[in-house]
Structure 1
Amino acid sequence: MPNISLRNTTYRHLTDEQLDNAANKLVQYFTDDKLLIIYRISKGKNYDTENQLELPLTALPWLKDTIINGFWRQPSAGGLPKDQHSVSATFSGEEILLGRSMNADDYAKPGFKIVNKSRTSHIMASRPQQFQITDERVEQVLLPILAQFN
């Protein structure tokens, strides 16, 4: 997929991730000089659902470190306490929340819920932008993307 231009900004396409064999669920990753954009499309029988999460690039090192050294590391090795299921921090004036999920985008698949509490959803303006991702997809897709920004 080529880069796209919207509202006088060019977004560089990073990768696509197909979530099912029928090609009904797709996640695309884009970036510009300020944001990482995670864009999800779920094709339905009558209509498609689209959603996106926008993260300041300044949050990406924290996101990577918190996943690897916080949630995935045992408390005895310096990881987060066993009973801590979410953390938040502010980057470029935007509050980002990272939480563990036991049904991350798929039933009984552990992973993470990433929320930008400072930006409203483009689907439902009463909710913040959010995205769920399984541990497997974090390892295969998200961490390699985050590594590009270190």
Structure 2
Amino acid sequence: MKKSIAIFSILLSLIMMAACANSAAHMDKEKNAFSVQKANGIAMNIKKVSVVKGEKSQDVLKVTITGENQTAEEKDFDAMLVKAVNKQGKALKMYPANSLGLLLKSDQKATGDAYFELTGDLPIKITYQNESGQNLASWSIKNIDGSD
């Protein structure tokens, strides 16, 4: 009887370890890996991506962005310069919300949000553009963390 319990315990432990290893490998493969990028003198990165409910209960993509002005001049750090395109190549519409909109002074850091009506499939490409529409930085959203 003791042998049966010991064998059962060992098998159960092996199965649990295999399941955890498989789950961890799957999670690492699916994680968003956002890198800091410099755009127009601002070092910026995506801090978090989540889904919130809009006024009409629609899904809204909330992208939280951090930025630091690394120049001597003041720089715009504005959600209106953030664009999102889904897997189908369709631009996501900006969602009217309390979005990021700052004029960063030299060495000033800030964090803010950009909101988009969530349509289509992942991945979603996020770009930060200059006022002329030129892409300065981009990230790929492979999964969404969840809701806020």
Where on the TM-score scale, by shorter chain, does this alignment land: which range? under 0.3
Higher strand share: 1
TM-score normalised by structure 1 residue count: 0.28
Higher RCO, Cα 8 Å, sep 6+: 2
Normalised to the residue count of structure 2, the TM-score between the two structures is: 0.28
Give the structure with higher Rg (CA).
2
